[in-house]
Amino acid sequence: MATHWTLGCDAADPAALAAFWAAALRYVPEPGYDEPDGASIVDPDGVGPAIGFLRVPEGKTAKNRMHIDIRVAGEPPWDLAERARLIRDRAAELVAAGATLVREVTYDEQLGNIVMLDPEGNEFCVA
């Protein structure tokens, strides 16, 4: 049996960052979690880990050592044109929600992923 775990994240504005990631991952606020300096989101299907956001006084100063990859194209084998469309469509949705597009990464001329920043500058990928 796997261990249940929560991904903990530092934030300047926990509620705003939790709202962004809830939209990005299609999560929901964690029921019963109401903290002035924190926020938590959960997978509504109970499959993925919870993600907690805690207010910290210091800002982000360096590149993430770990990041989230949002996998929108499902499992292989893929129709590569459809996979690229799904990735670009989701990246556009996330830009509208407050993310910043950094760059597209290609492998053998095929879209591999899009590198993005969340509203507080944390790197993540859409693949």
Structure tokens belonging to residue 88: 């670009």
Structure tokens belonging to residue 77: 């084998």
Q: How many CB atoms lie within 10 A of CB 31?
A: 8
Decide: pTM greater than 0.85. Answer: yes
Which of 64, 73, 80 lies closest to 122 in space, CA to CA? Answer: 64
Q: What is the pLDDT of residues 53-78, one digit of tens each?
A: 999 998 888 888 889 999 999 899 99
Q: What is the pLDDT of residues 8-45, one digit of tens each?
A: 999 999 999 999 999 999 999 999 888 889 999 999 99
